[in-house]
Amino acid sequence: MQSHKILVPIGIAIIVAGIVLFSGCIEEKPKEKSAIEVYCDVSSLTPADYNECYKYRGELYSEIKKKGMSYCQPENIRYGLDCITLFAMSEKNVSVCDEISYQSGRNYCIPFVAAAEENTSVCDKISVESTKENCIGMVAKAKRDVSVCDKTSTSSGKNYCIGLVASAKKNISLCDKISKTSEKEHCIGMIAAAKEDVSLCDKISIKSIKDSCLLMVAMGTKKNISLCDKISDAGLKDACITRVAETREDVSLCDKTTTSSQKDFCIERIAITKQDVSLCDKISKPNWKESCIIQVAQAKQDVSLCDKISNTEGKESCIRWVAWAKQDVSLCDKLSSSDECGCIGMVAQAKQDVSLCDKISTTLEKEYCIEGVAEAKQDISLCDNISNTSIKDECIKQVATTKQDVYACDKISNTSTKDACIKWIAETKHDVLLCDKISTILGKDTCIWRVATTKQPDVSLCDKISTTMGKETCIRQVAELKHDASLCDKISDTKIKESCIKRPSRN
């Protein structure tokens, strides 16, 4: 009897636990998103964007899952950065991004890995402040956590971050956290696009932002062409019609565009999307029609379509691009000797295979080919195979600036090219100390001016400029970029000071 009494409360407890579990009071751990799901989530604004992303990048992700990193090496010509990025995300390993040979490409990869890991500390690997803030925004969106936005360093970065989270959660009340009208209305527009709710666009007072809102909703899953008619800006209206026509693959909608050029562009986009060269015949301008045929031939990797082009120059251009797309150097044999060299160079660069350059008989063209491969591979040692000084210097400069390796600039023999190399890296890295390596006072001042007024405007750097005029125009530019008229008080020249005071007030 006593055992029966014990079993009764146990049985009740089991029943209660079952009710609680299935009523949702005890939550199961949410299923972890795959790399492709995170990638499409953080890079898409509308449901249509997400679906398109998953459709076109799903094939890539399947290949990566089967073949691993080997599928991405050398940097996959068809998928470019996305191949290595998706692999890095699937491994949750940001060091994989280092396989990308150039800095801007690595900076593209890192935010996606940060989003996959839901870890803002990964963003610290990025030196460019605006890109770093975008990275934080992507993490916030992936986590659906607006508090992450507090990690941004600028008000505009924080507001953009809030907009990303608000659109992901489809929560318009989050936009109330933004005080600046234009940025708040951008937030509303993002939610309108995410919800595909055109009525929210009516809450926007700034015409250009409202037009953008209508455009984004029109390009949603419903592909509502009538919304394009509500857009006041003619250029944006045409862009809306073209995008909807392209997505619906309906060439008749191109008739609604306002200019013949836009109509031709609209038709070309649909021809490429459908890979239907016959649509190119509907284009009125001969040059545009030729461009259409080339792009369809390239997309289909079908060199026979190039025969539809009557002029020799256009036909040979078509063959070159198909050879590039197929990475098939044998197609270059169809070209005249002068065009054959350029074609071989394009294929060599695409395949990152410097040995193909040996097929070129003229020294100059061969060295241009080597330069192209060196840039593609980011291999500065290949530049040593170039005898022409100017080509060799340009080769070193391109590799050095892409890799942001200022010491590589020292290998350049021409002083002005070397200075240009250093200036580019100083500006990109936002490192004013590098400007001291520049040989001329004017070059050094220009370098300082660029560092002070780009990416992270810093008025204190203007004081390093040697001339008063240069220093004060620098201050004026920083004041405008920071929308801070109080900085104008640092200027002594009356005219520069007056124009400085007026500029920030325009924003």
Note the pLDDT tens digit of each residue in 363-395.
999 999 999 999 888 899 999 999 999 999 999
Dist. CA 152–CA 155, nearest whole Å: 8
Dist. CA 116–CA 135, nearest whole Å: 11
Q: What is the pLDDT of residues 104-142, one digit of tens each?
A: 888 899 999 999 999 999 999 887 788 899 999 999 999
Alpha helices by DSSP H, 352-414: 363-377, 389-403
Dist. CA 417–CA 400, nearest whole Å: 12
Q: What percent of the chain has pLDDT over 90?
A: 69
Phi and psi, residue 348, nearest 5° = -60, -40
pLDDT of residue 79: 65
Model confidence at 14, in pLDDT bands (50, 70, 90)? very low
Residue 495 has pLDDT above 70, yes or no: yes
Range scoring the smallest mean pLDDT among 10-14, 256-260, 313-317, 498-502: 10-14
Range scoring the smallest mean pLDDT among 26-30, 235-239, 467-471, 501-505: 26-30
Dist. CA 313–CA 305, nearest whole Å: 15
Structure tokens belonging to residue 183: 């940025």
Model confidence at 17, in pLDDT bands (50, 70, 90)? very low
- Mean pLDDT on 297-319: 94
Dist. CA 277–CA 161, nearest whole Å: 42
**How does DSSP assign 35-89, residue by residue?**
HHHHHHHHH-SSHHHHHHHHHHHHHHHHHHHHHGGGGGTTT-TTTTHHHHHHHHH
Model confidence at 12, in pLDDT bands (50, 70, 90)? very low
